[in-house]
Amino acid sequence: MRNVITLIVFVGVIILILWHPTIRIPKTKFYFQIDYSVAPLLGVLILLISLQITPNTLLAGIIGNDFLQPWMIIELFFSLAYICISLDLTGSFAYLSLLVAKKSGGSVKRLFFSFFLLSSFLTTFTSNDIVILTLTPIIIYFCKYTKINPLPFLIGQFFAANIWSIALYIGNPTNIIVAQAYKLTFLSYSAWMVLPTIFGGMACFTLLFLIFRKSLEKRISPPALNPSSALKDKPGAIFGVTILACCLGMLIIAPIFDLNMGHITLTFAVIVLIKDFSYSIYRTAIERKQGKLKNKITIKDTTQHQSVLEINENDKKSENFPLSNLPSLEITNQIGDIATKNNDGQEFQELNPNQSLLVEEQSKNLFHPLTTALLRVPWKIAPFIIGMFILVESLSSSGWVELFASGLSVIQMRIGIFGAVFLMSFLSSIACNFMNNQPMTILFTSILQNPTFMATPVITQASMFALIMGSNFGANFTLIGALAGIMWSSISVKNGVNITYKQFARYGFMVMPLVVALASLILALEFIVIF
């Protein structure tokens, strides 16, 4: 008999992850939020107290098995996250953003294409989470300054990041979970995923362009941009790009020398960490030797501890973006609200800088890449992943995964390659929006690897790659499809751009079904041609 309690606890944890309630501690003024890092651990604790899981199940959920090792997934994800965050802190991403904006001239259409292309490019070689958290405040600020509607650019950026994240092994933690479970190499993964990603990305851009074409018809007066001014640490940027390129190169050749990909990324992350630590000491010594620090005006995204733009006080009166034509920009004063009009002539609030964009004196603060980068690493994902692995292991030990696997394999065998790919792509995409993409991926991977999943090796492999696509595509249907959507929405709201759940879902369901269908068709054709 299957244990119903484990299933109830699993569903309850999913509800808490999507709801993330805030609870007031009795007889105090303090509040405690059950967010995505707490909910899985709370579920594990309930199962332990109620004796529904054994210490062996707990240990198996943490250490893993021959197919899935949570610790390796965490090692790989956080190592790459630190490398990318450190690179971003040098101003590299801000530099590229201003560069593409400058190349766009006064054409809003070209600007839309440029930001979509930039998001796609950066996501391919870093990860979707890094790009979403980095580019969102930059896009909002640029749109506010140029008085254009930020909605098309934000939707384009977010959709691009969650489609092009499919291309490489490292693009999304869900990719790592599935690829690591099936022992895929860096190249063998991309050999299957690149074409579906390209066709899906092109379809997404075409559909979004058609949807927003009226909003993109206007022209703007291009501001005077100096992209190089965004680079706060040019040598550090060159070093970071070199390290990232070397890391990707080592991941490609890792199977030839039987190297552990997690250990490779950790080694490069340690190198970057040592560089950041050394640079912090060097900066401190230089500033102390000079006896004083330069006053700086910093436009700051306080929600992510991220400097969006930083320039010297001497440039305050320059005509370069973004200082010209802005409201009063006195040191320690906040920027006033700016209202603009959309294409229908209606006023809308593009940004509420009072909430997140501050102009402050930095005379006593030093730029410490090490501490800043460490603060920006999404550490909460570690307990989230470990807790979900334990909960899925409890479902497996209680027989639920076996039940799901046997039922799904019967369906997959009856509908063949095309049907299997389309079913898994759409099923996993929709399931993301009921349980978030990472729990969905962990659960579905366990289902596909269960001995009762009796499909042929080809259908199993096709289902595996379709699952990877669905775990990425699902984030674009609703805001709760992935943790990135929740964080992206939070950043946008705190910067005065409120994109509602209904509004986002409307664009998601207008665009993504066609994108999923086309990508699934390409993947299925790959299997038909090869096998």
Quick one: CA torsion of 376, 377, 379, 382, rounded to 10 degrees?
A: 160
Q: How far is the C-alpha of 34 from the C-alpha of 41, rounded, in Å?
A: 10
Q: Give 414 or 29, the one with higher predicted confidence.
A: 414
348 membership: H or E segment, kind and range: strand 347-351
* Whether the Cβ atoms of residue 388 and residue 330 lie closer than 8 Å to each other: no
Q: Mean of the per-residue pLDDT values for the chain?
A: 84
Pull the structure tokens for residue 131.
């790009």
CB 369 within 8 A of CB 236: yes
The 3-state DSSP class for residue 10 equals helix
Contact 315/298 with Cβ under 8 angstroms?
A: no
User: How large a percentage of the chain has pLDDT more than 90?
Assistant: 61
Residue of 411, 434, 531 lying closest to 480 (CA atoms): 434
Q: Specify the pairing of strand 306-312 against strand 296-301.
A: antiparallel
Say if residue 139's pLDDT is above 70: yes
Q: Helix, strand or coil for residue 263?
A: helix
Which residue's entry shows tokens 């650019």? 153
- Which tokens sit at 118? 């930039």
- Domain positions in the chain: 70-287, 295-362
pLDDT at 341 over 80: no
pLDDT for 312 equals 39
Q: Which of 7, 125, 70 is nearest to 402 (CA)?
A: 7
What is the rounded distance in angstroms from the CA atom of residue 92 to the CA atom of residue 89?
7
Residue 180, pLDDT above cutoff 60: yes
pLDDT in tens, 196-216: 999 999 999 999 999 999 999
H-state helical runs in 291-399: 353-356, 369-376, 381-397
CA distances from 424 to 244, 431, 514 (A): 33, 10, 15
Instruction: Quote the pTM value.
Output: 0.82
Would you say 389 and 62 are in contact if contact means Cβ atoms under 8 Å apart?
Answer: yes
Q: What mean pLDDT is predicted for residues 328-351?
A: 33
Q: Is residue 343 over pLDDT 60? A: no
Task: Give the model's confidence band at 88: pLDDT under 50 very low, under 70 low, under 90 confident, else very high.
Answer: very high
In Å, how far are 8, 250, 346, 420, 476 from 427, measured between CA atoms?
21, 34, 40, 10, 14
* Residue whose C-alpha is closest to residue 514's, from 213, 202, 272: 202
* CA-to-CA separations, 95 to 229, 236, 292, 356, 377, in angstroms, rounded: 8, 13, 28, 21, 21
